[in-house]
Chains A and B, each alone.
Chain A
Amino acid sequence: MKKYILTSTLAALLTLGGLSVPALAGPEDVVVEHAWSRASIGMNRPGAAYMTIRNTGDEPVTLIGLATPLAMMPEIHETKTNAEGVSSMSPAGEIAIAPGESVALEPGGLHAMLMRLQELMTEGDTFPLTLLFDDGGEVTVEVPILGIAARGPED
């Protein structure tokens, strides 16, 4: 079990990076950067969120799930495009991140799929998303909601 402290270094790092994504609490070794999502059209469609999850520690970490008040079924999904150019999406399962490595959740690959939205995702708002790790650790990030046509965290 890792220590649950809000490190000032982490907060400083995120602030220096010009990111509006303060980690609220979490294992000191996991750093979440560049989190963003797209506004939703209504509440029937699933939303998607993206971010980079970095393991700055000496031991591997395994992401096993997500939790958010925004959606009943948040899950890490992966989009794959085959040789014929056909894209499909499926649950990604557990994601192990080796020490010093990072995993990018980005368009066209891994993403936090937000199924059964409980509220509208409105541009300019944020929502808390908690990453659950296999050692019981949690990291919560505030994910900014950008426009529907956003392409990345800078949009």
Chain B
Amino acid sequence: MRRRAILGYGAAGVGAVALMLFVGWWQVDGPGGPEPVGQRPVALTEMDFRLTDHEGNAVGPETLIGRPTMAFFGFTYCPDVCPTTLSDISEWLDDLGDEAEEMNVVFITVDPERDTVETMAEYVGYFHPAIRGWTGPEEQIARVADSFRATYERVPTESGDYTMNHSASVFLFAASGRFVTMIDYHEPREFAVPKIRRALEEEMEGAT
């Protein structure tokens, strides 16, 4: 009787310790832990989302695997940052010449409410032909942004409209889907093309 009670207390104690360990893990390293700021995007192979490109094709992370990828977020109602980024990218692609044809270049909207497939088609048409425009349901856009550790936020403007704050970096992935590096918005242009070449070279290494 007494032994059973001791055993019972012992089991309860072990249980309590296990629970404490679990709670500790949950809060520090587990799903309950704080999201580290400025974390790197996960590999494309670990992403899971369904979007539609500007030609109406169903696309997802698997669409990008096999070729190096340059991806960035924006929206077509963006007057400053997005056309600038798209023009910068168009110029980098011109500099890369034939090499650019080996890359995926994807512009993902953070404003699917206004950026329909047709809107994206018209918009990307003004820039380098390699640039694809991706849109989709709000919850899928949220999943993409989450995997990229990118953020976006809808902000009302004085004109009664709204604008979007969003991550403006350009993300580079190797052909394997592995994240290579990113090009920050204010980074000098001359750093961009070598970074893109690095992502392209990883593809070559992977192929040999």
Contact = CB atoms under 8 A, between A and B. Distances in A.
A47 B169 CA distance: 22
A89 B157 CA distance: 10
Nearest to B90: A149
A95 interface: no
Chain A interface extent, by class: 20 to 34
17 contacts: A38-B83, A41-B122, A41-B123, A45-B79, A46-B77, A46-B159, A47-B79, A73-B159, A81-B185, A85-B167, A85-B169, A86-B151, A86-B167, A86-B168, A87-B167, A87-B185, A116-B159
B88 interface: yes
B185 A85 contact: yes
Interface stretch (A25-33, A61-69, A106-114, A132-140): A106-114
A17 interface: no
A84 B186 contact: no
Contacts of B88: 151
Interface of B: 37-38, 76-77, 79-81, 83-84, 86-88, 90-91, 122-123, 126-127, 151, 155, 157-159, 161, 163, 165-169, 182, 184-186
Interface of A: 38, 41, 44-48, 72-73, 75, 77, 79, 81, 83-89, 91, 107-108, 111, 113-116, 147-151
Nearest to B38: A84
B126 A148 contact: yes
A46 B79 contact: yes
B159 A149 contact: no
Given A41-B123, A84-B38, A151 B77 contact: no
B77 A108 contact: no
Contact of B158 (A45, A73, A79, A111): A73
B187 to A, nearest CB: 10
Contacts of B168: 81, 85-87
A111 B80 contact: yes
Contacts of B122: 41
Given A45-B76, A150-B87, 18 more contacts: A38-B83, A44-B77, A73-B158, A79-B81, A81-B185, A84-B38, A85-B182, A85-B184, A86-B165, A86-B167, A87-B165, A87-B168, A87-B185, A108-B81, A111-B79, A115-B157, A115-B159, A149-B126
B91 A151 contact: yes
Nearest to A79: B80
Nearest to B91: A151
Specify the main secondary structure of chain A where it touches its partner. strand
Contacts of A113: 79-80
A45 B77 contact: yes
B37 A84 contact: yes
Contacts of B91: 151
B185 A151 contact: no
A72 B155 CA distance: 20
Most central of A41, A73, A113 by chain B CB within 10 Å: A41
A47 B159 CA distance: 13
Nearest to A71: B159
A48 B87 contact: no
Contact of A108 (B80, B123, B167): B80
A81 B77 CA distance: 18
B182 to A, nearest CB: 7
